[in-house]
Amino acid sequence: MTYVELYAEVDSVANALRDAGIEPGDRYAVFANNSNRQCLVSAV
């Protein structure tokens, strides 16, 4: 995965979280195995 691809994925996850009503500064929990998906959500 390139940095450009990573940025696009992180942006997509961030938009999905905003659409779900989560705003900057809100806290949320992620329960997941170690994976690239966990990295994406942590980077938001």
| Rounded Cα distance, 23 and 33, in Å | 24
Cβ contact 35:2 at 8 Å? no
pLDDT digits (tens, 9 = 90+) for 11-42: 998 899 899 999 888 988 877 777 777 777 77
pTM of the entire predicted model:
0.70
- What pLDDT score does 19 carry? 96
Residue 38 domain boundaries = 3-43
Q: Which of 4, 10, 3 is nearest to 41 (CA)?
A: 10
pLDDT of residue 18: 92
Number of domains in the chain: 1
pLDDT surpasses 70 at 44:
no
pLDDT of residue 39: 75
